[in-house]
Amino acid sequence: MNTLRFLVSEITEQGIPCNTDVAVNTIQPPGVEGIPLERVSVSGTIMRVGEDFLFQGHVRGVFVHACDRCLELAEAPFDAVVLWTFKEGLAPTAAGQWGDIESADGADAGDLCYFQGPDIDLGPQVWEEAVLSAPVKYLCRNACRGLCPHCGANLNEQTCDCVKEEAVLSNTGLAGLADLFPDLDRKKSKE
Ligand SMILES: [Zn+2]
Ligand SMILES: [Zn+2]
């Protein structure tokens, strides 16, 4: 039983609470590329407002993906405040006429969704919200030191000799440069 589905006839003006963990595979639309969403839950209230229905609440979840720097698993939790208005009928196709409801002062007053049939399914909205909440980059911690580009050591857990050797090399590099012109001053004074 999908707990994100509500029978329209049962939704009252007082509202029906919705607090549920959602199995990611039940909201992923067929044929759509997956997202590294590990857990997702929905909490809030769906209520009747005149002819329409309103869901107000939170979509929370956790993305788990390899850290962009060190490849350890990184968790990225999100908590999105959502406000969805459901209208019965077909979504108008004219672009720009509908979509996000903008209030007079330009503030986003929530998303407008359309439903047909006897029930309202929050699943597609939950999926959309999760996709929008997916982080652009994954870091296991803000100060992740990443992997050594030379030996692959995880620099969060250990130091490797590459960094030191590099430092030594650059020092000797400068020293070597000076060695190429050991008697520069002397020659100058002779000329
Ligand atoms: Zn990392
Ligand atoms: Zn190294």
Q: How distant, in Å, are the alpha carbons of 90, 108, 162 from that of 113?
A: 9, 14, 56
Q: How high does pLDDT run on average in the chain?
A: 84
Q: How far is the CA of 70 from the centre of ligand 1 (A)?
A: 4
Q: pLDDT value at position 91?
A: 80
Q: Are 53 and 11 in contact (CB under 8 A)?
A: yes
Closest ligand (CA of 142): 1
Ligand closest to the CA atom of residue 137: 1
Query: Does 173 have pLDDT greater than 80?
Result: no
* Whether the Cβ atoms of residue 57 and residue 79 lie closer than 8 Å to each other: no
The residue ranges of every structural domain in the chain are 5-133, 161-190
pLDDT in tens, 89-123: 988 765 544 455 554 454 455 789 999 999 999 99
- State the distance from the centre of ligand 2 to the C-alpha of 165, rounded, in angstroms: 9
pTM of the model: 0.74
Q: How far is the CA of 39 from the centre of ligand 1 (A)?
A: 21
